Amino acid sequence: MPGTELFGAEERKEINDVLETGILFRYNHEAQRNNIWKAREMEAEVCKVVGAKYAHAVSSGSTAIQTALVAAGIGVGDEVIVPPFTYIASVEAVLMIGALPVFAEIDETLCLSAEGIRKAITPNTKAICLVHMCGQMADMDAIFEVVREHDLILVEDAGQAMGASYKGTFTGLLGKTGAYSYDFFKIATAGEGGVFVTNDEQAYKFADSYADHGHDHIGSNRGMEQHPIIGFNYRISELHAAVGLAQTRRVPYLVEKNNEHKKWLMNRLANVPGVGFARIPDPDGDSATFLNLLLPDTESAQAVVAELNAAGVGGFNYWFTNMYHFINQWDHFKEMRTAGKLAVQILGAPQDYANLDLPKSQEVIGRLISFGVRVTWTQTELETLANKLEAAIRKAMAAYTC
């Protein structure tokens, strides 16, 4: 993943600015901080890179999603449609605010499908927590149609898709509110961190207060102002924001390079027997952090993964590993061994969580093999990788078909 690949003098410079003032807190201390405000600068840079009106940096992608849900007006007892393929944080965020997750099917885009969403809608459905997975984006025109038809609130978990876009609009800004992650495995990293984005002024003001115990931040002296709402501490530190700022500046370059490498690999592998690709609804808007192969079925995917592992090439399937991104690995959730079970216990589960029937999602995830795309690959490295990939896939498919 690119964020950790390009890391150097630019990040050190921003951190040193903060260390020289000794002010690690994003608010107050105006006299001592020598006009160094890294969280603010990071937010301005995010707005510039993704064309958002408002951004608010927080402590993680997870807290950014929770903030995005609450700022969009979602709360206790609201049904929120979620995908069964996402990092668990999207589901946790819904539970943490007392809302009820309702699982719908994904499709070959690796994201919730409009058809899946339509089938999961009940009279209590309030919102969709749409997750753009593996650097790609959901099929938005079809999803916008369902959102309009049923008057739903669209919240985006773009934790894995910062810098991806759909027909010119960046993920995170396709709905009412959105969230990016800056954890260590994302396109840009701050170590830990996240950013809430929106074009809606009210939602922004809410998020700005919510992520800091409800302080309204009006006037220069935080702590002596009004507290219109209850919130919590989801603040980012100036040190993390300093790294996040330098990394955000790199995002356009990272996306461009990823695309070059992913497109080259896709062209190169297109005619290898058994190889298909996850559908990219807007190929020009891919953030391209992952190359996502779809094999004919679960068995052939498993055979290919085994061959890739034997050849030391990398590449993984979210089903056959213990990675935490697919509902098959979420027994704790199914059994409600969770801190967020209160609403579910009081209000009743909207679905039989222990026995969810999601055959399309099972089929797609069973067939998926993902590879992290690297920004720093040279042409020689790309060619070596492609040759190894092709050989491993051909070998597995030949054994599999006879």
Residue type, 222: R
CB 192 to ligand PLP: min, Å:
6
**Strands ordered across the beta sheet of 194-198:** 54-58, 194-198, 177-181, 153-157, 125-131, 79-82, 100-103
Q: How far is Cα 142 from Cα 139, in angstroms, rounded to an integer?
A: 6
User: Phi and psi for 379 in degrees, rounded to 5?
Assistant: -60, -40
Put residue 195 in one of left, alpha, beta given phi > 0 → left and psi -120 to 50 → alpha.
beta
CB 295 to ligand PLP: min, Å:
23
User: From the candidates 38, 126, 176, 186, which is the catalytic residue?
Assistant: 186
- The residues that touch ligand PLP, with contacts defined as CB under 6 A, are 60-62, 65, 86-87, 89-90, 131, 157, 159-160, 181, 183, 194
CA–chain centroid gap for 90, Å, is 9
Contacting residues for 264 by C-beta, under 8 A, at least 6 apart? 382
Contacting residues for 47 by C-beta, under 8 A, at least 6 apart? 53, 54, 55, 197
Alpha helices per DSSP H over 187-278: 201-210, 238-269
CB 200 to ligand PLP: min, Å:
21
CB 83 to ligand PLP: min, Å:
9
CB 1 to ligand PLP: min, Å:
10
Q: How far is Cα 93 from Cα 15, in angstroms, rounded to an integer?
A: 30
CA–chain centroid gap for 134, Å, is 8
* Buried residues in 363-377 as b, exposed as e (16+ CB within 10 A): bbbbbbbbbbbbbeb
**Cβ closest to ligand PLP, residue 148 vs residue 332:** 332
**Sign of the torsion angle spanned by Cα atoms 359, 363, 369, 373:** negative
**Cβ closest to ligand PLP, residue 63 vs residue 259:** 63
Q: How far is Cα 192 from Cα 243, in angstroms, rounded to an integer?
A: 10
Residue 119 annotated as catalytic:
no
With beta carbons less than 8 A apart as the criterion, state whether 280 and 137 touch: yes
CB 42 to ligand PLP: min, Å:
14
**Cβ closest to ligand PLP, residue 84 vs residue 274:** 84
Q: How far is Cα 209 from Cα 56, in angstroms, rounded to an integer?
A: 10
Q: How far is Cα 100 from Cα 92, in angstroms, rounded to an integer?
A: 10
**Cβ closest to ligand PLP, residue 6 vs residue 88:** 88
CB 296 to ligand PLP: min, Å:
27
Instruction: Using alpha carbons only, give the angle 51, 292, 189 rounded to the nearest 5 degrees.
Output: 45
Q: Active-site residues: which are they?
A: 186
